[in-house]
Amino acid sequence: MIIMRNPTDEDILKLLERRMKAASEVEEIVKEIIKRVKNEGDRALEEYLKRFEKYPLSVRELLVSEEEMAEVSVEKDFIETVKIVIEDLKEFHQRQKETSFFFTTDGGSFLGEMVVPLESVGIYVPGGKVPYFSTLLMCAVPAIVAGVERIVVTTPPDEKGKVSPYILKVCEILGLKEIYKMGGAHAIAALSYGTETVKPVDKIVGPGGVFVTLAKKLVYGDVGIDSIAGPSEITIITDGSIPLDFVAADFLSQAEHDENAMSVVITTSKEVFEKLPGVIEEHLQSLPEERRKTAEISTSNFGIIVFTDDLKRAFEISNLIAPEHLEILVEKPFEVLSYVKNAGSVFLGRYTCESVGDYGAGPNHVLPTFRSARFSSGLRVSDFTKKIFVTHFSEEDFKKKSVLYSRMARWEGFEAHARAVDVRRESL
């Protein structure tokens, strides 16, 4: 664990750069995977399936069959819970829907913008260590609300070549039928460029580990992506008014996700600064073995506790980190909300742990990481739509304004543009 007292901006940035460098070390491997899948299709994909997946599937076994779907069995409570969460997510995301608009100018021109759903989207659902059915919900619900017709799901299979029954049941409830048993960079490449077996999509959404995050970054431009949603991050700002057990539990809620997860506490309380490491250790030792091992590694690498004398400075440090999740565990959280400039999602007050956001309070949990919250937002309905401009220029407006456009074209040096306007004006 890294302990810092009144760090400078440079101190913080050095830590963040170290984390980014650790993630980028596999970039050349990811580039090669993408290149080969793009150029060789199923042949390369099959090689990577055997090399990276827990179970050596062939491309013929990738698509989840109707028989596999029919065999899915989960607890009744799971189905009831998921249906409630779906309705809560729909209520939130329905409010994000944008509408087309059109208007007519005084001169009779017709102008506007059409909001059109994407034709196809691929959802990456992490599944290497635990079944992230909550991520499937977060990605699929806004896509459904947006009206996307083809929604593809890809997720790593387990040691027996099977997809988690929880993930498959969520797919069934949501009506999703195209589900592939593959993960990692090769899955991103297959969805981006297509193979003989996998039909490509227009956009890929969903978080993943380092390989997935880098792959999404590298294919962007050939397909759309949501954001750089990689290993989990949390920053907790506390003034000492919240029990240490709350802070420690929330700190570890992200540390247990991934060895490269980052958990940060920024506090203005000397008591918290001095006692929290011990409380975190107590909570850490009480976790189940597999989760404890993951959390121990991430806490050792990127577990950070920061003391600062001033609450405003705490937010300055947080804004520099631009965390995926920001918990504001202070006595009067709404009074300091305006200090937040960079964060994927903000959680206010003692009862709003990050977990309520992960599991369906309403806002999406697919969020920007690696400081990309400085310029991007969490997954939303608009990520599954595009806007198409519409213009119909009237004769009256053309007579009035066309000379302006031919002048502008010539000022920029584009004579053919100007003539395209002039030839119409001359015909009037």
pLDDT one-digit tens code per residue, 152-172: 999 999 888 899 999 999 999
Residue 397 contacts residue 409 (beta carbons within 8 Å): no
Claim to verify: residue 235 and residue 356 sit in the same structural domain: yes
3-state secondary structure of 28: helix
Q: What are phi and psi of 50, to 5 degrees?
A: -75, -30
According to DSSP, residue 63 is labeled B
Claim to verify: residue 16 and residue 150 sit in the same structural domain: no
As a dihedral over the C-alpha atoms of residue 86, residue 88, residue 92, residue 98, rounded to 10 degrees, the angle is 40
pTM: predicted TM-score of the whole model, two decimal places: 0.88
Claim to verify: residue 60 and residue 179 sit in the same structural domain: yes
Assess if residue 109 is contained within a domain: no
Q: What is the pLDDT at residue 23?
A: 65
- What mean pLDDT is predicted for residues 303-322? 96
Claim to verify: residue 140 and residue 214 sit in the same structural domain: yes
Residue 128 contacts residue 154 (beta carbons within 8 Å): no
Residue 308 contacts residue 314 (beta carbons within 8 Å): yes
Q: What is the pLDDT at residue 351?
A: 93
Residue range 230-285, pLDDT digits in tens? 678 999 999 999 999 999 999 999 999 888 899 999 999 999 999 999 999 999 99
Q: What is the pLDDT at residue 234?
A: 96
When pLDDT is cut at 50, 70 and 90, the band that residue 30 belongs to is: very high
Domain boundary among 359, 374, 389: 374
Catalytic residue among 93, 186, 283, 325, which? 325
Assess if residue 352 is contained within a domain: yes
Q: What is the pLDDT at residue 352?
A: 95
Claim to verify: residue 216 and residue 235 sit in the same structural domain: no
Q: Is 254 annotated as a binding residue?
A: yes
Assess if residue 220 is contained within a domain: yes
Q: What is the pLDDT at residue 26?
A: 83
3-state secondary structure of 240: coil
Q: What is the pLDDT at residue 361?
A: 87
When pLDDT is cut at 50, 70 and 90, the band that residue 207 belongs to is: confident
Q: What is the pLDDT at residue 210?
A: 83
Q: Is 257 annotated as a binding residue?
A: yes
- What mean pLDDT is predicted for residues 37-65? 93
Strands 178-181 and 110-117 come out as: unpaired
Claim to verify: residue 74 and residue 176 sit in the same structural domain: yes
Residue 50 contacts residue 56 (beta carbons within 8 Å): yes
Tell me the pLDDT of the chain averaged across its residues.
Answer: 93
Q: Is 232 annotated as a binding residue?
A: yes
Claim to verify: residue 151 and residue 255 sit in the same structural domain: no
Domain boundary among 162, 195, 226: 226
**Is 325 a catalytic site residue?**
yes
Question: Quick one: which of 349, 413, 32, 360 has its CA closest to 186?
Answer: 32
Q: What is the pLDDT at residue 22?
A: 67
Residue 118 contacts residue 386 (beta carbons within 8 Å): yes
3-state secondary structure of 200: coil
User: Does pLDDT of 129 surpass 70?
Assistant: no
Q: Is 417 annotated as a binding residue?
A: yes
Q: What is the pLDDT at residue 128?
A: 60
3-state secondary structure of 120: strand
CA 70-74-78 angle, to 5 degrees, is 130
User: Does pLDDT of 388 surpass 70?
Assistant: yes
Q: CATH number of the domain that 270 lies in?
A: 3.40.50.1980
Assess if residue 17 is contained within a domain: yes
Claim to verify: residue 218 and residue 253 sit in the same structural domain: no
- What mean pLDDT is predicted for residues 64-83? 94
Assess if residue 394 is contained within a domain: no
Claim to verify: residue 279 and residue 368 sit in the same structural domain: yes
Greater confidence (121 vs 19) lies with 121
User: Does pLDDT of 227 surpass 70?
Assistant: yes
> How many domains, the chain?
2
Claim to verify: residue 186 and residue 323 sit in the same structural domain: no
**Is 93 a catalytic site residue?**
no
Share of the chain above pLDDT 90, in %: 82
299, containing H or E segment: helix 289-302
- What mean pLDDT is predicted for residues 285-296? 92
- Whole-angstrom distance between the N-terminal and C-terminal Cα of the chain? 76
Assess if residue 411 is contained within a domain: no
Catalytic residue among 53, 324, 327, 354, which? 324
Q: Is 309 annotated as a binding residue?
A: no
Assess if residue 388 is contained within a domain: no
Claim to verify: residue 328 and residue 363 sit in the same structural domain: yes
Assess if residue 35 is contained within a domain: no
Claim to verify: residue 240 and residue 222 sit in the same structural domain: no
Domain boundary among 202, 226, 250: 226
Question: Quick one: which of 73, 41, 133 has its CA closest to 358?
Answer: 133
- What mean pLDDT is predicted for residues 295-319? 94
Domain that holds residue 310: 2-23+231-374
d(CA 98, CA 112): 13
